[in-house]
Structure 1
Amino acid sequence: MSSSTPLRVCFLTGRDEIADWMVASLRRIVKDANVEIPLVVHASEPDENTLGDSGIGSHLKEHCSTGVQYVKNIVRRDPQTHTPLSNIEWLGSAKYLPCKAEPSEPFGVTIPSDVVEAVAETCDAVVHFQVGILQGEILTQPTHGVLSFHHGDIRQYRGTPAGIWEFLHDEPVGGVTLQRLTPKLDAGYIVAFASVNLSDAHSWAEVRRRLFYASPNVLSNGLQNIQDPSFEPVLVPDEELGTLYYLSDLTPRIQAAYFLKEVKGLFHT
């Protein structure tokens, strides 16, 4: 592919509504990164026994749903807003391909082989949004694989929920990682990264807002990187990867600590 030829990107989503930070990220790459989006694949989840957008299986959700609802009920200030996929008019020229994700063993989901073939024939790279933990041929068939955000530095914090562990640990700096996915959770090749100042972020919502705000630049930089023949993405050795957190780690003690930090943060606003 010559430098003047646009990189062809497939947008792979598992949702009817797209977070507006992702919409802004897609706009940015079309505008600034020599990218076109000829294909949108909407992969719905097969059932509740498949790992979903949080990256956590139903067997874990059974043990942590109370903690998650507790957190959501306290925050009530989710910085994400959403736009229906059908309302993103500038994506209207892209071919729309619906499919159903399939369960993968021992965890995660795969994309049907005929869809993977269509993606590989049409596009050079895939940008992923909330389809689950992808496995199988979709990770390797497109030339540049599947690129996915992790709103954290995978060398420090992996897993979910985004930003809460940095908030709880009073981290002065967070990060946004764009990774080329591998079968392991949040252990992919780093394609782009941005540090984010959290030193004066006094709520989890504010931490998340800053991470989401940084996302368009990260995606644009990452897609420009992979168009550079001299660029080599970085695979972090296992021993240098950060702690992998699950929703089940939101124990009653952690919930209490979170509540106290949110209350304390109110005095800084």
Structure 2
Amino acid sequence: MNAPLPTNGLVPARAQPILRFENLTLGYNRHPAVHHLRGEVAAGSLLAIVGPNGAGKSTLLKAIAGELRPLQGRIELNGLERRQIAYLTQSTTLDSSFPMVVHDFVAMGLWREIGAFSGLSRTQRGNIEHALGVVGLAGLENRAIGTLSGGQLQRALFARVLLQDSPLVLLDEPFGAIDAASVRDLATLVRRWHSEGRTVIAVLHDLEHVRQEYPETLLLAREVVARGDTASVLSEENLLRARRLAEGRGDDAHAPVCHAVGNVE
């Protein structure tokens, strides 16, 4: 069995990095949720982030997207501005009772391009129509979002991401509680983004899906347990260690959360 990768950082990427983490510690009210993260993510990566509940997975995406300031360290964007990042949050954060139709909901993906008060051009309307067709929502443009099924709402969210045409896509539990057909169709879209050279980072819970679809995985438990090819990372040894760390029963369970660590270089 392969030994776990170093637990204090990410393995340096072989290709040009799009993201670099420098001694990154994240948390809320000065309580760390992810600590002392170092390393890089290569441009064009298809990377899954997995780990127990409370492992800091969603926290890391929020920080990359610029919604959470680090407690310590920094995130470097290589040739990328934060407005170029497409970020699909968990659907549980959405208020589907808001009176909005599918077309307008998806059009919000153009917000940075058109602003709050500009109208849509013919080209932009065509792009919205195309995006709806890609995700299987053609003909539902005038449907209220509150009437959509979970799978349909997730398709609309993917259409919004599609419109942003971003080089870096962040997906936070994109396949949770939706039907199998939607998972299959949206996973195909993720593969398409990867084939186009985009970097996709997804927080996921279904380990079988990760094994089938994602060549690279980061296993978190408030610190990096392992990072590398998915088959090696998702070993029983690594998964057990992640669970023990999350429960405070790891080898270093009695050490302070923000202990100092060496760099991985």
Could you say which structure has the greater relative contact order, defined with CA pairs below 8 angstroms and 6 or more residues apart? Answer: 2
- Bigger Cα Rg: 2
TM-score (norm 2): 0.30
TM-score (norm 1): 0.29
